[in-house]
Amino acid sequence: MTALHDPAETTATPAADSEVAPKPVIEISDVWKLHKLGDEVVKALVAAELQVMPGEFVCLMGPSGSGKSTLLNIVGGLDRPTKGTVKIAGRDTAELSESQFAALRHDTIGFIFQSYNLIPFLSAVENVELPLMFEPYDRRSLRKRATELLELVGLGHRVHHQPTKMSGGEQQRTAIARSLISSPALVLADEPTANLDHRTGETVVRMLRELCSTMGVTVVASTHDPTVADEASRVVRMKDGQIVN
């Protein structure tokens, strides 16, 4: 497989004489998420603390109900914490309005879902374009960018195929390409190999790792799959809403 790279990559600017230490892409401090079910309070997250640096591939591991998806949803702005501080790319999300958070999410975060979330009547390239479809981009440039991303994930021959004509692995690779269309600093993947056979899952995980090593994208994935953990640069284990390592 050809190593992933940014198709829009430009010549790097020479490093400054005094290098500035990189700042975390994700900073989570004392984050709680509570749900009230009748008279009972369910603690989905308990005092979570986590920092993720640029270019890391972090795997969240734990049994069902351990808080993995809740943590991903809070980082991605799909949910809000009951209390605590969440900073994405240095911005405190508690200080952002819903529209401001939506803009941050659009510009900074890509999502990969367990069920792919592709639109069945759109082609692969149209699905990849979708996050920017209604933005004021030149249509030809957007199509070129989407096509290049599909080529990066080995689907140059599937550009015009609809998801129903593609295997599960091909659909998930299309979802990976879609997650990169806005050149995000962070990609969140929720159980990215759950619906794939072992061999296809390994291919998808290697692609996620290469996003980090060759494009500098930060990836945080929730999973039960030890294959994902084997490829990650760091494993964060969760149990009963708590980070235990």
Q: For the residues 24-31, what does the mean pLDDT come to?
A: 96
- In this prediction the pTM is 0.87
- HEC string of the chain? CCCCCCCCCCCCCCCCCCCCCCCCCEEEEEEEEEEEECCEEEEEEEEEEEEECCCCEEEEECCCCCCHHHHHHHHCCCCCCCEEEEEECCEEHHHCCHHHHHHHHHHHEEEECCCCCCCCCCCHHHHHHHHHCCCCCCHHHHHHHHHHHHHHCCCHHHCCCCHHHCCHHHHHHHHHHHHCCCCCCEEEEECCCCCCCHHHHHHHHHHHHHHHHHHCCEEEEEECCHHHHHHCCEEEEEECCEECC
Q: What is the mean pLDDT of the chain?
A: 89
* CATH T-level fold of 54-80+93-244: Rossmann fold (3.40.50)
The number of beta carbons lying within 10 Å of the beta carbon of residue 135 is: 10
pLDDT band at 16 (very low <50, low <70, confident <90, very high): low
What's the pLDDT tens digit per position in 63-78? 888 999 999 999 999 8
pLDDT at 32 over 50: yes
pLDDT at 21 over 90: no
What's the pLDDT tens digit per position in 193-205? 888 888 888 998 9
What's the pLDDT tens digit per position in 209-237? 988 888 889 999 999 888 888 889 999 99
Q: For the residues 36-57, what does the mean pLDDT come to?
A: 92
Give residues with Cβ within 8 angstroms of 198, minimum separation 6.
227
**What tokens does 120 get?**
């069945």
pLDDT band at 148 (very low <50, low <70, confident <90, very high): very high
Domain range summary for the chain, segments of one domain joined by +: 54-80+93-244
pLDDT band at 46 (very low <50, low <70, confident <90, very high): very high
pLDDT (0 to 100) of residue 18: 54
pLDDT at 139 over 70: yes
The number of beta carbons lying within 10 Å of the beta carbon of residue 114 is: 18
What's the pLDDT tens digit per position in 75-117? 999 899 999 999 999 999 999 998 999 999 999 999 998 889 9
